[in-house]
Structure 1
Amino acid sequence: MADASAPPPALRTLIEDIAQKQNYNNPQLTITPLSTGGGNYTSELFLITVTAPGHEDLRLFAKVANVNGKIRDEGPITKCYETERFVYGSLVDIFSKIEEKNSVAVEHRLRFPKYYGCNPKLLEETIVLEDLGARGFDTHDRLKSIDWLYAATAVAELAKFHALSFAYQEENPEEFAQVIKERKFEFGSDERMKVMWEGMVREAVGACREESRARLAKYLMDNVKRVRDYYEPLRRPVLVHGDYRPSNLMHKIRPDGSVEMIPVDWQMVRAGCLATDLMYLIFTGSDAAFRASHYTALLEEYYRQLCAALRRLKLDPEAVYPREDFDYELEQSLPYGLLLSVFVLPLVTVEAANAPKLDKLMSYDDWKVKTSSVFSDRINGVVDDYVAWGIL
């Protein structure tokens, strides 16, 4: 039997090709599996060191598809891998040219990990990037709430991404229209979605305090069909990250105490409403105490940063995305925070030992997540917020 931790032969072949293109002759490769402790589900991760005489070590990071079987046909998994190749192989260059054209200062540009190559072959899909960990970047502890400094940095980076999407649309509307057409999110069948949703609702309701259970259960089952609505644009389409949570934000603390951040994991990029990215960050990354102190201020900070990013791209915020549009889309998207909490928080807060392994699942029928005490605390905080806001 093959060693489950051994790197796939196709990965070694890809790394050898990358090393050759980087002029690393007769390289020595060290390929080490990397565990995220429940932070990643659709890929097997590897750290790679390429060593050759006369060169500094080349430190790389690889994501290799680990989802097979029927589960491939039941959800948008294959498209996720294709989407990430599109982002690193095309969109990064498009955005960089927009920033250069508008003379955006380096410190205000959206940063991506350096991209080295990919393997697009079905069931072997692989992306190879620089190893940000080798430069001191790490992910936030997903079992702890984000703080203000981290959150403010995260929305600033998100604003740059959305602003570049607006600029792309302004500069090349026909090409942008084709991109968002290709990036439309694909759901599984209604029946499959209903079965999965009912299981998630049972977990969420079971974790809630007794006085909230009936109210939450009714709201979630009454609104299951609305989930699809939140994956569509509202007043103006933009490209959204789609999975903007702390596990997908590499960060490090600078000597002056400020936060440096690079978003990663672009598998879920799609056409949508920018407010849903904000809901995703807030409700997957924060607890009730953070929201009580910073929710409104964080939304204000995002819009301030968006306006600044648009102006750097020579765009007028009032013409492109006025405050009334932002407020409208926030109001319309607010229920999404509750619905995605039911779906995503069990995964965000799962103990590492209980994290589901998609490479072992043959169907979503086998999908089970053993929730933690952190999930109970988080989901009760979300329910309390939505009761206070008059939605529940």
Structure 2
Amino acid sequence: MVQEKEDSAIEQIPAWLDQQIFEPFLDRDFPDLKQIKSFRLEPTAGKGENYTTIIMRANFELELNDGSYESTSYIAKILPNSGNRENVASWKVFDKERNTYGQYIPEFEQMYSDAGKKISFGPRYYESELELDEELIVLEDLGKRGFRNVKRQNGLDIQHTEATLEKLAQFHAASAVRFELKGAYPEEYNRNLCSGEDNFKEFRQAQVKAYVKAFPLYNASHLAKDVESYGSQAEDMFQAFAPKIEGEFRVLNHGDAWCNNFMYQYDEAGKLAEVYFVDLQMSRFSSPAQDLLYLILSSTQLELKIAKFDYLIKYYHGKLIESLKLLKYPKAVPSLRSLHQSIFVHGDWILPIVSILLPVVLLDGSDDANMDNLMDGDGAGDKFRNNMFKNPRTIIHQKEILPWAHRRGAFEVTK
């Protein structure tokens, strides 16, 4: 059984991702490099931890000119080998992530530096000068600096949630100021996934059908008709173009702001010291409501999601205003009331978050937890959805969220 798992991992490692690709980065990071003693690739993510791309760790043992030895590693993101490969390639997520890491994050960090504040948003990005036929993103391995994820099934506690919201506010503020100073972001930032056509309609229908079927477990049978009606006409928010609402405050959203895409570093006493963003493939220029709904509803502890929702929005707003003022935002800063109004306006995000993302976050890792099964219309897909929606963690979260979302008009058909 163990051998089968090892063989499966080996199959994910492509032959083209070889030592030569990383050599320019090693030369840059180790000017006194004598020779590479060993090179090894391994998958980084456990089962159920990544659905869009394959993430590999490139491990090196190095000998330096003075005779000493050093270990180092890099993170490499590549397209999946699965049936979803063509879809992912068409979404332009690699183009977007290269731009965000290579251009925008350095600009944002420089803006804060010029204002007298040191802020970092993510790992170092390594731009490859090789011409490749494959998609590739190479990043610093944050694990070398002690960064790690919070266990997603547990959710973020108040300390981690506030720290993440503060970093989001800083990122959002810089992106809004840059927009005013330098103009619009490229067209691909108008939506999360730049699909040429909607290939997800059958998936959404199957997902909503399975979700509503589980409503008796959530004490929500009385909401089934409303959710089913709403779901049957709702557009795919991941493919939707961001609406341009007159006077609305807009920012560059992380776009996939769930707990696995934030990494945390701690000081020697174990106190939270830093938050970094990873996986910036789905950024979209729109209201910050998207990131706020996404993070709070998918990734915070159950006792925070609803009871502390308004508090968390106010906390984020305070940090946003602080950063906008520091960076000399040239317009009137958004009010707390307007932010709440925007969260209502962008409430279309609630259904995909609670029916797709949240159950995935709460599910234990397994061989079945992958994009192919998530997208499957029957068979393996039905089994996967059944596991998601009957998961005891999902049940207790849905019991809290569904009545709240319904009271906010989240499933009201208005078109």
TM-score, length basis structure 1 = 0.85
1:384 to partner: Cα distance: 2.7
CA contact (8 A) 2:350 2:405 kept: no
Render the CA deviation track for 1:187-214: whole Å, top value 9, x for unaligned: 4644x33211111112322332365235
Matched residue, 1:115: 125
Q: Secondary structure at the match of 1:271?
A: strand
**Distance in 2 of aligned mates of 1:238 and 1:142:** 26
Matched residue, 2:356: 343
Task: Please list, as runs of the form range in 1=range in 2, the aligned pairs for 1:43-54 lying within 5 A after superposition.
Answer: 43-50=53-60, 51-53=62-64, 54=66
Aligned partner of 2:271 among 243, 249, 257: 257
**Distance in 1 of aligned mates of 2:375 and 2:409:** 37
Matched residue, 1:382: 401
Aligned partner of 1:25 among 13, 16, 34: 34
Q: Secondary structure at the match of 1:92?
A: helix
For structure 1, the 5+ residue unaligned runs are none
Matched residue, 2:179: 169
**Distance in 2 of aligned mates of 1:268 and 1:336:** 14
Over aligned residues, Cα RMSD in angstroms? 3.0
**Distance in 2 of aligned mates of 1:35 and 1:216:** 35
**Distance in 1 of aligned mates of 2:234 and 2:283:** 22
**Distance in 1 of aligned mates of 2:34 and 2:228:** 58
% identity of equivalent residues: 21
**Distance in 1 of aligned mates of 2:20 and 2:152:** 34
Q: Secondary structure at the match of 1:242?
A: coil
Task: Tell me how many residue pairs correspond in the alignment.
Answer: 382
Q: Secondary structure at the match of 1:9?
A: coil
Task: Please list, as runs of the form range in 1=range in 2, the aligned pairs for 1:284-323 lying within 5 A after superposition.
Answer: 284-315=298-329, 319-323=332-336
CA contact (8 A) 1:98 1:167 kept: no
Matched residue, 2:188: 182
CA contact (8 A) 2:53 2:79 kept: yes
Q: Secondary structure at the match of 1:243?
A: coil
CA contact (8 A) 1:81 1:267 kept: yes
TM-score, length basis structure 2 = 0.81
Q: Letter of the aligned partner of 2:280 in structure 1?
A: W
Render the CA deviation track for 1:158-191: whole Å, top value 9, x for unaligned: 0011001111012112xxx1x242322234644x
Matched residue, 2:20: 13
Q: Letter of the aligned partner of 2:28 in structure 1?
A: K
Matched residue, 2:116: 104
**Distance in 2 of aligned mates of 1:380 and 1:147:** 20
1:58 to partner: Cα distance: 5.6
Evaluate the alpha carbon distance shift between residue 302 and residue 134 of structure 1 in structure 2; reply closer, same or farther with a 3 A threshold: same
Matched residue, 1:276: 290
Q: Secondary structure at the match of 1:125?
A: coil
**Distance in 2 of aligned mates of 1:294 and 1:77:** 38
**Distance in 1 of aligned mates of 2:116 and 2:49:** 33
Q: Letter of the aligned partner of 1:25 in structure 2?
A: K
Mean CA deviation greater in 70-79 or 10-19: 70-79
Mean CA deviation greater in 223-232 or 17-26: 223-232
Aligned partner of 1:158 among 156, 161, 168: 168
1:237 to partner: Cα distance: 3.1
Evaluate the alpha carbon distance shift between residue 58 and residue 116 of structure 1 in structure 2; reply closer, same or farther with a 3 A threshold: farther
CA contact (8 A) 1:208 1:380 kept: no
Aligned partner of 1:219 among 221, 227, 237: 227
Matched residue, 2:47: 37
Q: Secondary structure at the match of 1:93?
A: helix
**Distance in 1 of aligned mates of 2:220 and 2:132:** 45
CA contact (8 A) 1:146 1:286 kept: yes
1:39 to partner: Cα distance: 1.4
CA contact (8 A) 1:275 1:330 kept: yes
1:365 to partner: Cα distance: 4.9
CA contact (8 A) 1:112 1:263 kept: yes
**Distance in 2 of aligned mates of 1:56 and 1:155:** 40
**Distance in 1 of aligned mates of 2:315 and 2:223:** 33
CA contact (8 A) 2:350 2:410 kept: no
1:287 to partner: Cα distance: 4.5
CA contact (8 A) 1:162 1:306 kept: yes
Mean CA deviation greater in 265-274 or 66-75: 66-75
Matched residue, 1:92: 105
CA contact (8 A) 1:242 1:277 kept: yes
Render the CA deviation track for 1:74-99: whole Å, top value 9, x for unaligned: 46754111111111121122223322
Matched residue, 2:3: none
Q: Letter of the aligned partner of 1:232 in structure 2?
A: P
Render the CA deviation track for 1:325-383: whole Å, top value 9, x for unaligned: 3122122123422332112123222221144334x679765782341332233233221
Q: Letter of the aligned partner of 2:394 in structure 1?
A: F
**Distance in 1 of aligned mates of 2:98 and 2:58:** 19
Mean CA deviation greater in 158-167 or 344-353: 344-353
Q: Greater RCO between the two (CA within 8 Å, min separation 6)?
A: 1
1:135 to partner: Cα distance: 1.4
Q: Secondary structure at the match of 1:353?
A: coil
Q: Which has the higher helix share?
A: 1
Matched residue, 2:213: 206
CA contact (8 A) 1:345 1:379 kept: no
Render the CA deviation track for 1:101-146: whole Å, top value 9, x for unaligned: 3x2311xx24211112348877732222111112111111111122
Q: Letter of the aligned partner of 2:320 in structure 1?
A: L
Render the CA deviation track for 1:257-281: whole Å, top value 9, x for unaligned: 3442111110101222211100000
